[in-house]
Amino acid sequence: MLDPNLLRSFVMVVDAGNFTRAAELLHLTQSTVSQQILRLEQSLDCRLLDRSQRQVLPTEQGEQLLGYARRILQLGSEAREALSSEHSEGVLRLGMPEDFAGERMMPLLAAFSAQRPRLRLEVSSGLSQELLRQYRSGELDLALVKQWGADSDCLAHWPEPLAWLDSEQSPAAARDPLPLVVFPLGALYRQEMIHALEASGRRWRISYSSGSLASLSAAVAAGMGVSLLPLRGRHGGHRVLGVEQGFAPIGGLELALYARPELGSAGRSLCEQLRSLCAQLAEVTPSR
């Protein structure tokens, strides 16, 4: 193992051209620097410096060592900087629904991370009830969740229109019992969907279940069943069902933003960007 302190003195003597100036730059005595160079030469069993000239120059072996020494010292410096708390902005933990964690949010998060390369952004996606539980227990710094009426401590909230969706090409709405495409147990849409069908006396069965909104959307478009999903997620393979088909509208769902009051500047910045994006999405929600 080559001692970085000895390598540092060696590089400094070569760069300074003499021991006196190198000692001043290293804040050491000249005798200490001389002893360090001697120890390095003894450990490598070769002469590294030619002291016979007015200016101290590296020998052939010294020239070979010089490049390695610079690289070793640079790597050491990079390692210290990477692990130093002074050069880190810490970790920011964000939770959001799975349908927001995709292409809608990535440009914003990518730009945010590029502006703060020393900040580690941890994003969790999942069902809103679980994300809100994690926020309440201190596991998340910010949370974007869906609720039937936001809690009083949310920073902002927006309506999240829902729609009964069926396949455009292979409709399932007329089947009996009605096949349903649903999120797992405990999901907001699933509970409300089943409650509405029970209230109307409609027979139903679960034909497909997934925790992924993209998967549910594709299943509906393929004709596997009807589902209650965010209206903004409707695409060309879907048709919206209404009162005429026996599906009453369901309203009251909101998208709510929560953030800890002790957030630093990075967290506050991301919070404002999320607030702005959600407001824009609420304004451009497609009509029925």
Predicted local confidence at residue 70, as pLDDT: 92
Q: What percent of the chain has pLDDT over 70?
A: 94
Q: Is the pLDDT of residue 38 over 70?
A: yes
Predicted local confidence at residue 102, as pLDDT: 66
Q: Is the pLDDT of residue 88 over 60?
A: no
Q: In terms of C-beta density within 10 A (0-12 exposed, 13-18 middle, 19 or more buried), how is residue 258 classed?
A: buried
Q: Is the pLDDT of residue 172 over 50?
A: yes
Pick from 192, 175, 261, 179: which is nearest to 230 by CA?
A: 192
Q: Is the pLDDT of residue 236 over 70?
A: yes
Span 61-76, mean pLDDT?
Answer: 92
Q: Is the pLDDT of residue 77 over 90?
A: no
Pick from 177, 160, 167: which is nearest to 241 by CA?
A: 167
d(CA 256, CA 147): 7
Predicted local confidence at residue 42, as pLDDT: 94
pTM: predicted TM-score of the whole model, two decimal places: 0.64
Tokens of 55: 């200016």
What mean pLDDT, rounded, does the chain reach? 88
Q: Is the pLDDT of residue 103 over 90?
A: no
91, 263 contact by CB (below 8 A):
no
Span 131-145, mean pLDDT?
Answer: 93
Span 24-35, mean pLDDT?
Answer: 92
Q: What percent of the chain has pLDDT over 90?
A: 57
- What's CA 11's distance to the chain center, in Å? 41
d(CA 226, CA 194): 11
Predicted local confidence at residue 86, as pLDDT: 47
- Which of 69-73, 77-81, 145-149, 224-228 bottoms out in mean pLDDT, i.e. has the lowest? 77-81
d(CA 178, CA 53): 96
